[in-house]
Amino acid sequence: MPHTITLICNPANTVLDTSLISDLSDALEREGGQIGRLEWLDGPIAADLECAGLQADMIEDILRDKLGDDPVDVVVHLAGEDRRRKLLVADMDSTIITVECLDELADFAGKKTEVAAITERAMRGELVFEDALRERIALLAGLPESALAGTYAGRVRLMPGARELVRTMAANGAHAVLVSGGFSYFTERVAADAGFHAERANRLIFENGLLKGVAEPILGREAKLAALHEFCAVHGISESQALAIGDGANDLAMIQVAGMGVAFHAKPVVAAAARARIDYGDLTALLYLQGYRGGDFVRD
Ligand SMILES: [Mg+2]
């Protein structure tokens, strides 16, 4: 079965050029691959290259080996597959925004180091997400509610490409959902800023303006997967038509079930288990994976 290989670079670091693509094609041919058409999606940032005669895993191994430390992402699809997805389910922290909101909130309490260490272990899959969240909130009990606005205004920034990803998919009829183990105060604002249609998150409980706890049940790994199933059902599509993206262990279930599941600048356990990984490109890489060209992007 022939494959289409999408190659994507981050133009801040490198460019795809014909000599690099020629080197990659030679490496595939040496292992028995038959190289077909090269199609630029957005030169010199992204291209599709056809290859027959090799399994997908082998294509990835050969290209990653040849690329070494070159910052180029490689994703292999079946040739002729309809790559455009009708539903986007995205994680928020360290995926759609550049920070972990809870770690930034902790900074207001002078406990960032302590809290960030737990966040890191939870995202690597070393702790149960729900327990790790309760533990971190307990450390921040008494935090003034004003820290939410301070964190949002001072620390929360959209990941490069977030608006283009959400708005371009929406303009082409897809539904976009932000599903976060973080907090509704942030998801509501980030969803509106990036153009998501819906959002799901945990709710913090304040009493007399001071943080008291987090509402149960906590939205964790299983709730993210449940949201994927639910929104597929609502929109009358199958999970194979959905794109799920995230960076942490609590994203892995939805990433593995979605037809296009992408580990984005992800923790090692997530990147290793996902069918597709983006390590270098920004969020517009998710558009190239779907076959969109640079000229198709909806930009602000
Ligand atoms: Mg995350």
- pLDDT 10s digits, 213-244: 999 999 999 999 999 999 999 999 999 999 99
Q: Token pair of 33, please? A: 């691959």
Model pTM score: 0.96
The per-residue pLDDT for 144 is: 96
Q: Residues 21-47: what's their mean pLDDT?
A: 97
Give the pLDDT band (50/70/90) at residue 1: confident
Q: Write the DSSP assignment of 163-208 as a string of letters.
A: HHHHHHHHHTT-EEEEEEEEEHHHHHHHHHHHT-SEEEEE-EEEET
- Predicted confidence (pLDDT) per residue in 242-287, tens digit: 999 999 999 999 999 999 999 999 999 999 999 999 999 999 999 9
Q: Please check the confidence at residue 300 and state whether its pLDDT lies above 80.
A: no
Give the pLDDT band (50/70/90) at residue 87: very high
- 93 C-alpha to center of ligand 1: Å? 4
- 248 C-alpha to center of ligand 1: Å? 5
Q: Is 249 helix (H, G, I), strand (E, B) or coil?
A: helix
**Residues listed for the chain:** 300
- Predicted confidence (pLDDT) per residue in 141-172, tens digit: 999 999 999 999 999 999 999 999 999 999 99
- 98 C-alpha to center of ligand 1: Å? 9
- Between 179 and 108, the higher pLDDT residue: 179
Q: Is 240 helix (H, G, I), strand (E, B) or coil?
A: helix
- Alpha-helical segments (H) within the chain: 18-30, 56-67, 101-108, 112-123, 129-139, 146-155, 162-171, 184-194, 221-234, 252-257, 268-273, 285-289
Q: What dotted CATH number matches 1-81?
A: 3.30.70.60
Q: Please check the confidence at residue 110 and state whether its pLDDT lies above 90.
A: yes
Q: Please check the confidence at residue 10 and state whether its pLDDT lies above 90.
A: no
- 24 C-alpha to center of ligand 1: Å? 32
Active-site amino acid positions: 91, 93
Average pLDDT, the chain: 96
Distance CA 170, CA 165 (A): 9
Q: Residues 33-44: what's their mean pLDDT?
A: 96
The per-residue pLDDT for 14 is: 83
- 180 C-alpha to center of ligand 1: Å? 8
Q: Residues 195-210: what's their mean pLDDT?
A: 97
Q: Please check the confidence at residue 118 and state whether its pLDDT lies above 80.
A: yes
- 38 C-alpha to center of ligand 1: Å? 34
